[in-house]
């Protein structure tokens, strides 16, 4: 695991990385993302266009049986499946 990440106002920067194929992933987040990971092939040039876009907030739950909830604001139904899980809530 590479831990040489530096975040700047323009994005994130990895330094002293050898050429190769890498998997970039957000881990242990209480947020939800449009895409949580990218597979990239690093060669001589810098790579651009990797964007982690937040899509909502994570809600963690634990239920003993499947239940359905309705969002009163949007009318959308959400199924909570038995067990301990995470769902993503948008605004």
Q: Please write the tens of the pLDDT for every residue from 15-27.
A: 778 889 988 888 7
d(CA 52, CA 66): 31
What average pLDDT does the chain have?
Answer: 83
pLDDT score at 2: 56
Q: Could you tell me the residue range of the domain that residue 74 belongs to?
A: 5-89
d(CA 51, CA 85): 26
Using an 8 Å Cβ cutoff, are 17 and 2 in contact? yes
Closest CA to 14 of 22, 4, 24: 4
Tokens, residue 29:
């987040």
Q: Tally the domains of the chain.
A: 1
pLDDT score at 66: 93
Q: Residue 82 carries which DSSP code?
A: S
């Amino acid at each position: 695991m590479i831990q040489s990440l530096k975040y700047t106002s323009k994005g994130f920067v990895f330094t002293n990385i050898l050429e190769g194929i890498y998997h970039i992933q957000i881990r242990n987040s209480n947020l939800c993302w449009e895409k949580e990971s990218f597979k990239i092939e690093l060669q001589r040039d810098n790579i651009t266009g990797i964007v982690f876009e937040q899509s909502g907030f994570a809600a963690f739950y634990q239920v003993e049986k499947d239940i359905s909830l309705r969002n009163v604001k949007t009318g959308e139904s959400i199924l909570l499946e038995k067990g301990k899980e995470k769902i993503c809530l948008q605004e």
